[in-house]
Structures are given as C-alpha cells and as structure tokens.
C-alpha cells in the first residue's frame, strides 16, 4: 500500500513518448525491499508496458563524507543490483557525473522518472537541480518516514509533545505492509554500463576522493540483509525490558539500527511493524521504542525541513541563544580545543571513553551522546565554538553523521526542543548535565566495554 500523501508530482510532464523505460533515481531509499518509490516505479512501468531501470550516482567529494561512510553505503549498494536483477529490474551505478549527472543521463531515454525523498538541504538542492533540467515527468515518493512531514504538521514543531499527538492521530494509516509488485517487462535487453565497482567495495572506497583517515569499522556492516539480521536478533531478546533499561549504555538494550535508517537500508515502517509484532517485550517496551523510531526521529525531520538554519546555532530558539550569550563570559571549569576533544584528552575518563567509542566504532549510546555533547558546551570557549566542535565530530565519526537526527541532537545540547531550566554557570537556563548522571548506570562497566570494542577494531 502506497498512500497518496507519499506521492508528489514535481514536474508534470510531458512524458517522453519514445522512452525506452521508466527510471527510478535512487537516493535515500537505498534498498530493494519495502521501498515505496521502487514499487511505485514498478507500477508506472507496468502501466506503460515498459521495463524499469534504477540508477544511482555517487556524490564523490560530498562535504564531510569519508571512507567510513562510503564503505557502509557501498556495502549496502552492492546488494541492490543482484536483488533487482532477480525481479527483472535493471540497475546501474556510476561514479562519473555525480548524482544529478547520472540521473539526467538516464532520464534522457526515460518515459518518466521516479525519485525518493530526503529532507536535508544539500540533497533537496540536488533534486531541485534535476527537476529544473529533467526532460520528462518527475514524481517523488516518500519512503523513509512513517508519516510524511507536511502531512504530520504544516509547521515547525517546538517539542515532541506538540508533534506526538499529530503523529498518533495519523500513523495507523501508514503502518501497513508493502508488497513487492510483479514486474511485467524485464529490463534484460537494456544495455547499462556501471562504472562504480561494487564487487570490491574496499578497493573502490580506497580510490575515492575523500578523507581516508577515518576508515571503516568492524562493528557495523552495511546493507539491508545485515539490517534485517540485526533487527531480528534484537527483537528476539535484547528488546525485552527496553523501556526500563534503555538509558543504561552497558545494558545492551540499544538496537543499533540508526546507521541503517540513515542510509535508507531499512524502512522505518517495516521496523515499526516488526516491533509491534515482537514476541519479546511488553506494551511499554513497544511504546518506548516506537516513540524513538517514529516521534523523535520524525521530529528531527520536521526540524530540518521547516528550519532552514538547522546546520548552525541560529537554529535553536531565541531564549537559548540569549541565555548562552549572557553567560559566555562565565569561567569554564575546564577548556579544551577541538584537537584535545577529538583525541579524548580531557580530565574525564568517562567522557574520553565516549569519544573513543565514537572515534573507533562509529557509534555511541544515546545517554553518553547527551553527556558527551553537554560537556563540550561547558568546556568550550564559546557557544559558537562548542557548536562547531560538536557537529564537526558528530559528522566525522558517526556512521549516521549528517543525519536529521544529528543536527537535531546537537541542537538539543543548546536547548532545542527543550524548556528553560534553573540557571547554571555557562549554560544559563539551558539544561546542563553533570557527572551525577553517570551514577544512573554502571559507568565503569561502560568504560570497560568501550575498551573491549576498541580492541576488537584493532584485532
């Protein structure tokens, strides 16, 4: 089932009467399973008695994307061609021309083009550029949120409590399985020349123009198959008691699904349906997980869509900027440079462990992300410097860096989606977070676990 609100015509014809196929330009929805844009494109091709071709163009040189990110992405991309071929769908992946150039190249022989959706400004700019130059009809299909952003809310929501009831009123309409369509006309006769080698991902990544100093990790392997395997394992056991132990980094209650969601390697609708059907856990566990997966994640999508300054400190509410400015002259108990933060060279062994986990494994538990970020605010020379350090390290080392959640989570460190609290030095009325928060879990156990994970990366 593909809801009408997921579908948006970006360019209303004319269609190319000489088109040899329908084209799906794959962007965010990097999967061959439970992909509304893909299945809509199959319907379009069947209606026109044409084959379907899927193209992907790598954005080599994209800011802040490094070898760690490309490895995870291309591991997932390597699965897509074979999966599509089994259905008779053509697939081509290219390095030359970038995403827009690749899409325009194959759009020249397409009857119509289907694209998926991304709410971040740089990708929206790609889409705008393509639509302005596309020679035929272009349709966008949203497949990476449960409720499309504009459908959920027509404005920027300032807290989860304002978006939550809107989502709850609508989500039953969207939480339905998506069946794969039969492909009536196979693309086997269409000549497609891929120039992005997906048979040897490591070799391909080594040849890309990107920061090779931040390399792939062993902790995470990209791809839909791995995403499904992890989710099945998680719901088979660790999910139990999620509601009560999710705030304890050492408890093993995290699902580690955020990298797969970030690269569109799994559908959030498919995940939500699986959580609802889980035999482990209870209603509280399901409610808590769906709150994070749907409400909190889609609050982040709402933020980056309606707030054009989401990548800067200007994105946080005025009261936050005002109180931080009033306290910018307060003495800092400690002050560190980005280089010291990045190396984990602070006085705080727990903070250093969180930085080590991020730097060496590409992940950090959400509770430690909050502590990590709040201390950057407290230990930096100014709010502006703290923002640059936090977002810079976030986007560099996390596999799911540069995500809507990334910008929203960093914004939260400075008061976004929060309320004023009691006045504290440096923070003003922005919520602080001190060492007392580490007493809520086994912080020493967390340090030991990070040491184990880091050693595993070096083996």
| Residue 352 counted as domain residue | yes
Find, among 105, 126, 114, the residue nearest to 193 by Cα. 105
| Residue 430 counted as domain residue | yes
For residue 151, the surrounding DSSP H or E stretch is helix 149-152
| Residue 175 counted as domain residue | no
Q: Is-cis flag, bond preceding 14, omega within 30?
A: yes
Ranges of H-type helices in 333-442: 338-343, 349-361, 366-379, 383-397, 404-413
Find, among 357, 366, 346, the residue nearest to 406 by Cα. 366
CATH number of domain containing 365: 1.10.579.10
| Residue 169 counted as domain residue | no
Residue in the block written with tokens 């497949």: 143
Tokens of 194: 């891929």
- What is the per-residue pLDDT across 5-46, written as a single tens digit (0 to 9) for each? 999 999 998 899 999 999 999 999 999 999 999 999 999 999
| Residue 17 counted as domain residue | no
| Residue 366 counted as domain residue | yes
Number of domains in the chain: 1
- What is the per-residue pLDDT across 353-388, written as a single tens digit (0 to 9) for each? 999 999 999 999 999 999 999 999 999 999 999 999
| Residue 276 counted as domain residue | no
288 CB neighbour count, 10 Å cutoff: 17
Find, among 174, 169, 181, 178, the residue nearest to 145 by Cα. 174
CA distance 66 to 68: 5
Residue in the block written with tokens 């999508």: 301
> In three state form, how does the secondary structure of 190-204 look?
CCCCCCCCCCCHHHH
- What is the per-residue pLDDT across 113-131, written as a single tens digit (0 to 9) for each? 999 999 999 999 999 999 9
Measured between alpha carbons, how far apart are the two ends of the chain, in Å?
Answer: 46
Range of the domain at 426: 313-458
| Residue 376 counted as domain residue | yes
Order the strands of the 7-11 sheet from edge to edge. Answer: 7-11, 137-141, 110-115, 21-25, 52-57, 90-94
Q: What is the largest CA-CA distance in the chain?
A: 70
Mean pLDDT lowest for which of 56-60, 364-368, 372-376, 417-421? 364-368
């Amino acid at each position: 089932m593909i809801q009408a609100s997921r579908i948006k015509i970006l360019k209303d014809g004319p269609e190319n009467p000489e088109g040899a196929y329908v084209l799906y330009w794959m962007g965010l929805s990097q999967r061959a399973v439970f992909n509304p844009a893909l299945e809509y494109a199959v319907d379009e091709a069947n209606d026109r008695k044409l084959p379907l071709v899927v193209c992907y163009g790598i954005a080599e040189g994209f800011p802040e994307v490094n070898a760690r990110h490309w490895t995870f992405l291309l591991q997932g991309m390597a699965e897509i061609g074979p999966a599509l071929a089994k259905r008779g769908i053509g697939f081509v992946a290219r390095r030359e021309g970038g995403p827009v150039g690749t899409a325009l190249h194959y759009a020249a022989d397409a009857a119509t083009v289907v694209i998926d959706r991304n709410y971040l400004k740089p990708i929206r700019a790609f889409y705008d550029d393509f639509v302005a130059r596309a020679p035929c009809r272009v349709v966008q299909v949203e497949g990476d949120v449960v409720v499309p952003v504009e459908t959920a809310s027509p404005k920027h929501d300032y807290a989860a409590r304002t978006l939550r009831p809107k989502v709850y009123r609508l989500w039953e309409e969207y939480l339905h399985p998506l069946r794969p369509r039969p492909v009536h006309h196979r693309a086997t006769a269409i000549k497609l020349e891929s120039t992005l080698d997906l048979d040897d991902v490591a070799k391909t990544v080594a040849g890309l123009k990107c920061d090779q100093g931040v390399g792939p990790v062993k902790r995470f392997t990209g791809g839909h198959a791995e995403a499904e395997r992890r989710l099945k394992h998680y719901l088979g056991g660790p999910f139990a008691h999620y509601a009560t132990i999710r705030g304890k980094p050492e408890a093993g209650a995290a699902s580690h699904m955020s990298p797969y969601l970030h690269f569109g390697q799994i559908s959030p609708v498919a995940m939500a349906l699986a959580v609802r059907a889980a035999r482990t856990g209870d209603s509280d566990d399901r409610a808590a997980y769906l709150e994070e997966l749907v409400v909190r994640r889609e609050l982040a999508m709402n933020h980056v869509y309606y707030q054009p300054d989401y990548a800067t400190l200007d994105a946080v509410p005025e009261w936050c900027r005002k109180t931080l400015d009033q306290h910018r002259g307060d003495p800092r108990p400690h002050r560190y440079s980005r280089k010291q933060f990045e190396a984990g060279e602070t006085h705080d062994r727990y903070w250093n462990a969180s930085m080590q986990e991020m730097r060496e494994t590409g992940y950090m538990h959400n509770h430690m992300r909050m502590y990590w970020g709040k201390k950057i605010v407290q230990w930096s020379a100014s709010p502006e410097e703290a923002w640059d350090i936090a977002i810079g390290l976030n986007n560099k080392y996390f596999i799911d860096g540069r995500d809507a959640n990334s910008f929203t989570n960093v914004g939260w460190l400075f008061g976004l989606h929060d309320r004023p609290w009691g006045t504290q030095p440096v923070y003003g009325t922005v919520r602080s977070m001190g060492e007392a928060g580490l007493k809520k879990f086994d912080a020493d156990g967390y340090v030991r676990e990070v040491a184990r994970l880091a050693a595993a990366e070096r083996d």
